[in-house]
């Protein structure tokens, strides 16, 4: 935290006690906002694709549902960064976007039910408006929250926040799946979606209420640099940060080749109930919940580049495993492992951005990062829908016949291949953005979440068993 602030007179500079109280208040808000966001995600966002599928959405419409809201949301985020230059009240921008998120759930659920012939496209439109509001708040929110956190404590704080999100999302997913299952076999299945989407909107209002007492003591301290995005990318951003953006964008493209179609595979091909689908989603969150704290500590100690290197080379194998079996227990185990790995990858991507740029350029960097990811997201989702339409459901090669329940496991496998190509070709092109502890690769593997406690337990248990 800066001890002096340019642009403020001595009379307006807050005392240390005022600043400390404001910091504590802001950090508490960040955790409460995370709790509200968790319930919205678990009871709303995660079931948008299932709602579209109930309205007979095609694979192409599911891919558009994944791609278009992200693109429109990125436009809103870029506009928000520009607005920050002229209207530096970050709290007001966050409040307006959060309230907008709450109220947009009303047309998301009512319009498709009123005009079912246009149902999937109306869900897409509503989701686009929702994510536009969500992305609109992101630059101001991240700029505000990171002003309160020391750079060597970001991993721990965001891991704690993500752990709260994962824990509450787990219960929200299971609860929403149970609610939906009550009407699954009736003609009034839409009632379940009305209830869970109403809950999703209500808790965003609670998040806006939690923001009200928060003080932004330095609304002009970190105004965004006046250079445009193009100048920032060419001059303000380091070579490492530009290469990181390239990696992140292509990784998102590779992931979204498969991402929009798991709901299709689970509900349509495997005929899982909504409760079973919610349970599958929840196992991924459980994996995050158990490892987020450890990932945050790992990133703070050894750096976010090390975090990205480890998770970047393990995440490609997750979608390939769906070609192995359709057993529900196996699929739950795979998604649990996916939650473990994705917790580290997402944390590493986010915190690498924070480490790589100056505070006054942080909102702009976040918007640029989101733009690159959204472009990759859209390209991957559309490529995935093309593969779903054109890949065969049976492959015979060298006497080996692969004939899964549909062609979707082949799409998932190709997603993994692309992820591996991205990681192997780009992870070595950029470096750690701050000074961190340097240790051997063997020591890094020892410090991995779940590995260290399991190894310590085995080492503790074996001598006892030999007695």
Residue 254 lies in a domain: yes
Residue 142 lies in a domain: yes
Q: What is the overall mean pLDDT for the chain?
A: 82
Q: How confident is the model at residue 73 (pLDDT cuts 50, 70, 90)?
A: confident
Residue 235 has a pLDDT of 62
**Least reliable range by pLDDT among 26-30, 406-410, 416-420:** 26-30
Q: Does the pLDDT of residue 152 top 90, yes or no? A: no
Rounded to whole angstroms, the Cα distance separating 240 from 428 reads 10
Residue 116 lies in a domain: yes
Query: How many separate domains does the chain show?
Result: 1
Rounded to whole angstroms, the Cα distance separating 218 from 237 reads 25
What pLDDT digit, counting tens, does each position of 327-356 carry?
999 999 999 999 999 989 998 998 888 888
Residue 221 has a pLDDT of 43
From 380, 342, 372, 377, select the one nearest 69 (Cα to Cα): 377
Beta strands in 324-389 (DSSP E): none
Residue 354 has a pLDDT of 81
Residue 4 has a pLDDT of 35
Backbone φ and ψ of 316, nearest 5°: -65, -25
Residue 10 lies in a domain: no
Burial of 260 (0-12, 13-18, 19+ CB in 10 A): buried
Residue 362, domain extent? 16-213+226-458
Residue 107 lies in a domain: yes
Rounded to whole angstroms, the Cα distance separating 314 from 249 reads 18
Integer angstrom CA distances of residue 439 from 307, 428, 444, 454: 13, 17, 7, 21
Residue 11 lies in a domain: no
Residue 321 lies in a domain: yes
Residue 240 lies in a domain: yes
- Whether the predicted model's global pTM rises above the 0.85 cut: no
Q: Please give the average per-residue pLDDT across 67-93, as a whole number.
A: 81
Q: Does the pLDDT of residue 411 top 80, yes or no? A: yes
**Least reliable range by pLDDT among 92-101, 173-182, 437-446:** 437-446
> Domain of 262: which CATH number?
1.20.1250.20
**Least reliable range by pLDDT among 18-27, 44-53, 160-169, 376-385:** 18-27
């Amino acid at each position: 935290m800066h001890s002096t602030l340019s642009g403020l007179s001595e009379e307006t500079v807050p005392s240390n006690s005022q600043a400390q109280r404001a910091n504590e208040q802001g950090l508490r808000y960040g955790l409460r906002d995370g709790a509200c966001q968790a319930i919205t995600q678990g009871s709303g966002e995660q079931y948008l694709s299932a709602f579209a599928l109930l309205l007979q959405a095609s694979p192409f419409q599911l891919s558009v549902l994944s791609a278009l809201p992200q693109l429109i949301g990125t436009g809103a985020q870029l506009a928000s960064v520009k607005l920050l230059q002229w209207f530096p009240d970050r709290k007001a921008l966050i409040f307006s976007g959060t309230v907008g998120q709450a109220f947009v759930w009303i047309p998301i659920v009512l319009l498709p039910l009123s005009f079912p012939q246009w149902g999937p496209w109306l869900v897409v439109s509503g989701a686009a408006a929702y994510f536009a509001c969500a992305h609109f708040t992101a630059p101001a929110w991240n700029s505000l929250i990171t002003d309160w956190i020391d750079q060597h404590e970001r991993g721990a704080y965001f891991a704690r926040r993500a752990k709260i999100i994962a824990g509450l999302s787990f219960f929200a997913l299971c609860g929403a799946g149970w609610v939906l299952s009550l009407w699954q076999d009736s003609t009034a299945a839409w009632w379940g979606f009305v209830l869970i989407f109403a809950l999703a909107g209500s808790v965003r209002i609670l998040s806006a209420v939690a923001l009200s007492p928060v003080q932004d003591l330095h609304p002009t301290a970190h105004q965004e640099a006046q250079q445009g995005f193009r100048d920032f990318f060419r001059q303000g951003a380091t070579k490492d940060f530009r290469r990181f953006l390239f990696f992140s964008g292509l990784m998102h493209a590779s992931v979204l080749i498969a991402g929009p179609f798991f709901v299709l595979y689970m509900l349509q091909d495997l005929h899982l109930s909504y409760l079973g689908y919610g349970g599958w989603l929840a196992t991924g969150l459980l994996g995050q919940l158990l490892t987020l704290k450890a990932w945050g500590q790992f990133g703070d100690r050894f750096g976010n580049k090390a975090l990205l290197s480890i998770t970047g080379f393990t995440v490609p194998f997750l979608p390939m495993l769906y070609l192995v079996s359709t057993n529900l227990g196996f699929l739950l185990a795979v998604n649990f492992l996916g939650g473990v790995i994705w917790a580290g990858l997402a944390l590493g991507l986010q915190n690498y951005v924070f480490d790589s740029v100056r505070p006054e350029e942080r909102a702009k960097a976040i918007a640029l990062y989101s733009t690159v990811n959204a472009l990759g997201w859209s390209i991957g989702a559309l490529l995935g829908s093309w593969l779903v339409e054109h890949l065969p459901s049976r492959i015979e090669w060298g006497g080996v016949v692969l004939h899964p329940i549909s062609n979707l496991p082949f799409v998932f496998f190709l997603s993994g291949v692309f992820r591996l190509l991205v990681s192997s070709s780009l992870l070595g092109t950029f470096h750690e953005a701050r000074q961190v502890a340097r240790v051997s690769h063997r020591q890094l593997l020892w410090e991995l979440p779940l590995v260290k406690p399991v190894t310590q337990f085995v080492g503790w248990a074996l001598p006892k068993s030999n007695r």
